[in-house]
Structure 1
Amino acid sequence: MQDKILLFIPMYNCEKQIVRVLAQLDTNIQSYLTEVIVVNNRSTDGGEQAVIHYVQEHEFKIPVTLLRNDDNYGLGGSHKVAFDYAMKNDFDYVIVLHGDDQGHIENLLPYLQDHSYRQYDCFLGARFKKGAVLDGYSWFRTFGNKVYNLLFSLVVHKMIYDLGSGLNMYSCNILKSRFYLKYKDNLMFNYCMILGSSYYKHHMGFFPIRWSEDDQVSNVKIMNQAVIVLKLLGSYFLDPEKFVEEEHRDTVIKEYTANVVFSTKGGI
């Protein structure tokens, strides 16, 4: 039996890139997916119209739905919207592919074809695993990421090859507890997920990916982020149980909600 797989594409001010991401979804890729959702986190550009126009002009064999968050929830908050959508609609897995066209879903295709993704609760794209290809990524950032991967590996007692790339896959079985709800809503969400999954002994696997940087606009402030990540790791190291149970969000949101802007299941 084929798994019910949701592809979640978070979008924030990437009007130029989002159409290239949608173009990655050829008929071969679509044959392994059940539905695509694009979650717009209150973008201020023309991303929504770009999505609608592209979907209307191209043939999709699976439903495509465009959601708009009811508030700016951040990247982590958009994950929570998508995870809730997946569970409410009885999906088995969620694939995350960032809308800025840095990751390439074709890197996941071999594992979809042979079903080896089923071995993992979290199957994570890795920019720094043997076989990965980095286009336009500086040596300094590569070195820094490898250092942090090593630090996390030492703390969680498992090799970590990437703390948060733009291509990941999660089993909905682990999401049902909503263990991630109190994790940060910003770019730190994936770091928290790594630590939480390590604590709960989720079966984590990594696969090498191709990562491209050309016309994307980075939202990462490197030095500031480096300090925050070290603090996160330190708090987990000192008391893992406290880390997974405490509130990490700057603003507590009761429900992460979004409205359907467009869907091939029912129009606008």
Structure 2
Amino acid sequence: MKDSTSMKICIFIPAYNCERTIVKVIEDIPDLLRENATVLVVDDGSFDKTSDVVKLYKTKNGMNNLVLIRNENNLGYGGTQKVAFRHAIKNGHDIVFMVHGDKQHPGGEKLIETLKMMEDNCALVYGSRMLGDPKKGGMPFYKRMGSKILTFIENVFLETNFSEFHSGFRAYNCSYLKRLNFENLTNRYFFDTEMLILIAKEGFRVKELPIPTYYGPDSGYGISFVEGVKYSLGIFKSLMEYKLSKKGLMKSRKFFCFF
């Protein structure tokens, strides 16, 4: 793996109705990265002024490395990541960070720390809120408990020992990313879990680091309780699909290639 000073970096910000927070997220990127990396905002069909805010910020600050892609139709959380991954791979980036546009994850020095960890030939480094203090950050009780229960089940199915599966603070090594069949994965919220299933299946190296989280008046919309239930059911379906395919009881083009 290249030294971090020679890596070509893309910092990807998925954004949906983030007009209140998107500038704060961009400005929370350390100067060294904000000035030298590609900062890619993918607006997933927002009905607020997210794209206009990004365009104005780019013009006012002369930030030529700020790239905006707007999905004319809402592609979903997973679909938006696919757009960013294609862009990063096509443009020869070594690392693609993901930092949510709703400001529920840190920027700052955590990005630098993550970048240093990527030097150790990892396919993925991601921030774990469970290694931090999610309660202090205002994470609702039902989300904390739901995350812990789902993580336990996911670890059992995948024979892994991750502290959580559901954080959106991530950095992918593009040399590994291009070897993963991410195009066939869901376009919905549980895309992150399906990516970890693929990475665990391949035996690629993964590292976690503790991160704070923030749930507050300017931290975006998140997902509702009902959406959380749908998210959980989607994860169960993906885990069963993976397990049954691994045992030869069904064929899954998500997690295994069949010719």
Taking structure 1 as reference, are residues 122 and 227 closer, same or farther at Cα in structure 2, changes over 3 Å only?
A: same
What's the counterpart of residue 200 of structure 1? 202
Amino acid at match of 2:112: L
The residue number in structure 1 matching 2:26 is 22
Distance 2:161 2:147 in 1: 13
**TM-score (norm: length of structure 2):** 0.85
Does structure 2 conserve the Cα–Cα contact (< 8 Å) formed by 1:183 and 1:189? yes
- Identical positions, percent: 25
Structure 1 residue ranges without an equivalent (≥5): 249-268
Runs of 4+ in 1 over 3 A off after TM superposition: 130-134, 240-245
Pairing of 1:114-193 with structure 2 (within 5 A): 115-119=116-120, 120-130=122-132, 134-193=136-195
**2:203 pairs with 1:210:** no
RMSD: 2.3
The 3-state SS of whatever aligns with 2:39 is strand
Partner of 1:265 in structure 2?
A: none
Aligned length: 244
SS in 2 for 1:16: coil
Correspondence 1:233 to 2:239: yes
> CA offsets, 1:30-84, max 9 Å, x none?
36x5211101111111011111222233364x61111112432111111111111
CA distance in 1 between counterparts of 2:70 and 2:142 reads: 36
Using the alignment, how far apart are the partners of 1:5 and 1:72 within structure 2? Answer: 26
Q: After superposition, give the CA deviation of every residue in 1:92-142 in whole Å (9 maximum; x if it has no partner).
A: 110011111111122232243xx2222210111111125667511122321
CA distance, structure 1, for counterparts of residue 254 and residue 15 of structure 2: 25
Q: Which residue of 2 aligns with 1:8?
A: 12
Letter in 2 for 1:246: R
SS at match of 2:20: helix
TM-score of the superposed pair, with normalisation by structure 1: 0.83
SS of equivalent to 1:181: helix
1:163 positional shift: 1.6
Tell me the CA shift for residue 247 of structure 1.
5.0
1:37 match:
40
Larger fraction in strand:
1
- Gaps of at least 5 residues in structure 2 are none
